[in-house]
A and B are shown apart, each in its own frame.
Chain A
Amino acid sequence: MSTVEPTAGYLPELKALKVRLNVFVKMRWLVVLGIIAVTLSARYIFSISFQMLPVFIICLFLLVYNLWMYLWDRRLANDDTEGVIKRAQINGYIQVLLDLGILTFLLHFTGGITNPFIFIYVIHTTAASILLTKRRAYELTTIAVGMAALLAFLEYSGVIGHVNLIGFVPSTMYKQLNYVFSIIITLAVLAYTSTYITTAVAGELRQQHLKVDQLRDQLLKEDERELQRISGEVERLKDERNRFVRLLSVVTHDLQAPLVAVQSCISYVLDGYAGEVAEQQKGWLQRGSRRIDGLLVLITDLLDIPRIELGQIKQEMAELSLNEVINHSLEGLDLVAQEKGLRLLVELPEKSPVIYGSGRRLQQVIINLTNNAINYTQEGEINIRLSENADEIRVDIIDTGIGIPPKDLPRLFDEFYRGSNVEAKGTGLGLSIAKRIILAHGGKIWAESPCPETGRGSKFTFTIPKQKNI
């Protein structure tokens, strides 16, 4: 079975040929009925007498022939292999030819040139003009006229007999040359004229179909080109992004490794491994070490931002049990709070809510927010509360600390923003990174100060939707 579209490349109306052929077949059944009706009414209503037997024999032949065509056409209609159009054309041509032949026979037995139904030839030529190519149409028209002329001539010259239509026309009519001539000429004019008109109209339709097909192909090609261009562009951008992220990883490492080495060397001395260290020396070394710590954090934070922006987070995402995430985050932080004399209270639902996200990153957010709470609270407690509803989960971190001045609130989550009432500690990036992480999860984060429930301190809240379509 061919994989090529079998109707591709053919003139559009030929595609319809297959379907229209069975119209021929249908009509032929009616034609048989018509012939019988006309014959009977001619004989019994108009009292025109002639031999009816040959007519009925021809009708029988027509029925058989039409049955054959019915079966052939049905095969063609279901046929989708290569060359089907060719076969359909042949079928159409044969049908018209056979029809012309049968018509000629029928005419011979029903009065030949004296039968007004001789002009039926024009119906066949018109049908041919609609269905076949211009050349074939004219061919068949000529054959039709030729058959009629041949019949008339053979009867006229006496080669074959003539059936007289008694009661209709004088029995010598067929011998009158000027009569015969005029009928044939009229037939020819009718046939060729109708063929001309019909092929012209069919030709016009053909052109339009071709144009439509061409336009459609053009549009499809353009669409495809555009599509390829865009997907090429997308691929290129993806590659660029991946290269950039890899570059970031290398840069992070190359910036951090030497700092880590310096840190280790200083720790080595500070811990006494290189000999005893005087108090004064210790102090200075510690200053240096702290600055390096800060720098390491800054580098990590800075390089985190593009990573989050470029969607690296999406690759880390998995199903998470939030109770676990929160407990993980607070490991160690409760000690820090204790050291400062603060209480760290955690409220978790009995059944841990599950969402889709990056555990590592959410831990980062919770640690950051809790650390901030601890840093900015002198006494009292820090409350971490996890809750959920049908659409989302919600985490509140409430402290009893110094709070945030109203004018700082709107810019709190900006990069490098440090509030007006804080010491110059930290990079100022923590909250902006937290915000980016939450946004990457499709959620929201905001702060309120003072906390609406207690009237003091601050309250930080973030929500994350439970749907997976981030």
Chain B
Amino acid sequence: MSKILIIDDDVDLAAVEKGVLEREGYSVILAPNGVEGLVQARKEKPDLIILDITMPVMDGYLFADEFNRDKTIAKIPVVALTSYVESPLDQPVPFQVTEWVNKPIKPKDLVLLANKYLKKPVN
């Protein structure tokens, strides 16, 4: 069963995303910040990571830095959720983001996104 890791400090948003994706048959793990995100990424080895990058950008970049250097997880596709159309002002993104998506993301778009990167589970 495909695993998705959602790293977002907004509890409600994460809950909504989890609900939507679990309905589609994916297994979802949540992490409330970048540090926890790394722990979970290493432990669970998810197939897709949805990362929240918003201002203040402490966690997003903390995560990104470590993520790059860890060969065991660096290959996992990362979708960045952001409030901006492009990367946040002033700061370039320090890692390869597979895709940028604007917040807020509608549930059906979220599902399409997951399906795009993962095989739709038979459920």
Verify A360–B85 contact, CB threshold 8 A: yes
B103: Cβ under 8 A from any A Cβ: yes
A256-B83, A264-B13, A267-B16 known; A250+B107 contact, CB < 8 A: no
How many pairs of A and B residues are in contact by the CB < 8 Å rule? 57
In the complex, how many angstroms separate the beta carbon of A226 from the nearest chain B beta carbon?
A: 33
- Which chain A residue lies CB-closest to B81? A260
Report the bound CA distance from A265 to B15 in whole Å. 9
Residues of chain B with a CB closer than 8 A to A257's CB: 10, 54, 83
B89: Cβ under 8 A from any A Cβ: yes
Verify A273–B107 contact, CB threshold 8 A: yes
Report the bound CA distance from A312 to B89 in whole Å. 9
A263: Cβ under 8 A from any B Cβ: yes
Verify A267–B10 contact, CB threshold 8 A: no
| Residue among B54, B104, B106 with most chain A CB within 10 A | B104
Verify A271–B55 contact, CB threshold 8 A: no
A268-B107, A271-B108, A312-B89 known; A253+B13 contact, CB < 8 A: no
Verify A265–B107 contact, CB threshold 8 A: no
A424: Cβ under 8 A from any B Cβ: no
Verify A268–B56 contact, CB threshold 8 A: no
Residues of chain B with a CB closer than 8 A to A256's CB: 83
A271-B107, A271-B108 known; A264+B83 contact, CB < 8 A: no
Size bracket of the A interface: 20 to 34
| Residue among A252, A253, A261 with most chain B CB within 10 A | A261
Q: Which of B82-110 contact A (CB under 8 A)?
A: 83, 85-86, 88-90, 103-108
- Which chain B residue lies CB-closest to A264? B16
Report the bound CA distance from A267 to B19 in whole Å. 12
A249-B55, A253-B55 known; A265+B23 contact, CB < 8 A: no
B20: Cβ under 8 A from any A Cβ: yes
Q: Which of B9-66 contact A (CB under 8 A)?
A: 10, 12-13, 16-17, 19-20, 23, 54-56
Residues of chain A with a CB closer than 8 A to B12's CB: 261-262, 264-265
Report the bound CA distance from A274 to B13 in whole Å. 15
A250-B55, A250-B56, A268-B19 known; A263+B104 contact, CB < 8 A: yes
Checking B13, B19, B85, B88 against A260 with a beta-carbon cut-off of 8 angstroms, the contacting residue is B13
In the complex, how many angstroms separate the beta carbon of A263 from the nearest chain B beta carbon?
A: 5
- Which chain A residue lies CB-closest to B103? A260
Q: Which of A67-97 contact B (CB under 8 A)?
A: none
Residues of chain A with a CB closer than 8 A to B16's CB: 261, 264-265, 267-268, 273
In the complex, how many angstroms separate the beta carbon of B114 from the nearest chain A beta carbon?
A: 14
In the complex, how many angstroms separate the beta carbon of A411 from the nearest chain B beta carbon?
A: 30
- Which chain A residue lies CB-closest to B86? A360
Residues of chain A with a CB closer than 8 A to B23's CB: 273
Residues of chain B with a CB closer than 8 A to A262's CB: 12
Query: CB-CB contacts of B69-87 with A at 8 A, as 1s and 0s?
Result: 0000000000000010110
Residues of chain B with a CB closer than 8 A to A273's CB: 16, 19-20, 23, 107
Report the bound CA distance from A43 to B6 in whole Å. 121
- Which chain A residue lies CB-closest to B11? A261
Report the bound CA distance from A264 to B23 in whole Å. 16
In the complex, how many angstroms separate the beta carbon of B55 from the nearest chain A beta carbon?
A: 5
Q: Which of A371-386 contact B (CB under 8 A)?
A: none
Q: Which residue numbers of B lie inside 8 Å of A, CB to CB?
A: 10, 12-13, 16-17, 19-20, 23, 54-56, 83, 85-86, 88-90, 103-108
Contacts A/B (CB < 8 Å), 25 sampled: A249-B88, A250-B56, A252-B83, A253-B54, A253-B55, A253-B56, A260-B13, A260-B83, A260-B103, A261-B13, A261-B16, A262-B12, A264-B16, A264-B104, A264-B105, A267-B104, A268-B20, A271-B20, A271-B108, A273-B16, A273-B107, A312-B89, A315-B89, A360-B85, A360-B86
Q: Which residue numbers of A lie inside 8 Å of B, CB to CB?
A: 249-250, 252-253, 256-257, 260-265, 267-268, 271, 273-274, 312, 315-316, 360
| Additional A-B contacts beyond A256-B83, A264-B12, A268-B19 (19; CB < 8 A) | A249-B89, A250-B55, A252-B83, A257-B10, A260-B13, A260-B83, A260-B103, A261-B13, A262-B12, A264-B104, A264-B105, A267-B104, A267-B107, A268-B16, A268-B107, A273-B16, A273-B23, A273-B107, A316-B89
